[in-house]
Amino acid sequence: MRLNGRKKRVEKKYVILTVIVGVCIAIGIMSLIVRDDRQLSFVEKGIKDVVIKVEYVLYTPVRLVTNKIENYKDMKRIYQKYKDVDIKESKATLLEEENKELQNSLKQLKDALDLKTLITDYDEINATVINRNIGNWYNTLTIDKGSKSGIKTDMIVITKSGLIGKVIKTTYYTSEVKLITTSDLNNKISVGITTDTTVTYGLLSGYDINSKQLIVSDIVDNTTIKVGDKVATSGLSELFPKGIIVGVVSKIETDEFGISKRVKVTPSADFNNLQYVTVLKGHESLW
């Protein structure tokens, strides 16, 4: 039984081999025929048609696989190019944002250094904001200079754009600054509003967090105030510098009693983007 099984397998192998050899011989004959310019006989034409059909059947799967491989390679090349472009665009965007942030930091630092040309009667200490609590964003911030640098409580803090607050606490290396946007109503600053004809005075007494506007109340006279008038520190106190810009008038209204004017002021300083500030050394305010 085993011998018969082996014999059948050998016979099948010979049959397959014979078919393959026959096909190869036929293909060889056809190649010779194709290269010959003479007219083909009926038998030759039949053989040629059969060989072509066999070639088509044999090579169709090969062509399909080859095409699939080439398509896959093309897709892979396209994906890699897209990935490279995407990475380059991402890097370019990141570098652009980093450049904007760097330019902004350099501008603020330059503004802080340029303050020496604006306030010549005061010693300035330039400092960097190192901490600002999100939950206390409009009330306080911390800077990297303290008593070691000569900073004391009640010294005022400014940027080139204008007034931002005063020092309320110091350590040897840091200081805490209370901002003029604080919700603490006990902090009031005497300010002057410059109109077309004169300067009228009031108190910077609050901050509307919804409209992001400072509030000036207790205006002392009926001088006509209009939108765009400048608001600055009044200098009515000897210890508080005169003329430090606070902002510009954005809205005029009456107080809740309908008796006196109250104006809203757009701050000149950007309180959402404070990185570098200046402390006016040796001059304490009264607020």
pLDDT in tens, 70-95: 777 777 777 777 666 666 666 656 55
Q: Which two tokens stand for residue 60?
A: 């169709």
CB 157 within 8 A of CB 119: no
pLDDT at 149: 92
pLDDT at 285: 45
Regions of the chain where pLDDT drops below 70:
1-68, 82-121, 185, 237-240, 255-259, 282-287
CB 142 within 8 A of CB 175: yes
All domains of the chain in start order, with CATH: 123-284 (2.40.10.350)
pLDDT, one tens digit per residue, over 170-180 is: 999 999 999 99
Give the chain's mean pLDDT: 75
CB 269 within 8 A of CB 249: no
C-alpha 264/C-alpha 253 separation (Å) is: 8
CB 261 within 8 A of CB 225: yes
pTM, two decimals, is 0.58
φ, ψ of residue 189 in degrees (nearest 5)? -120, 135
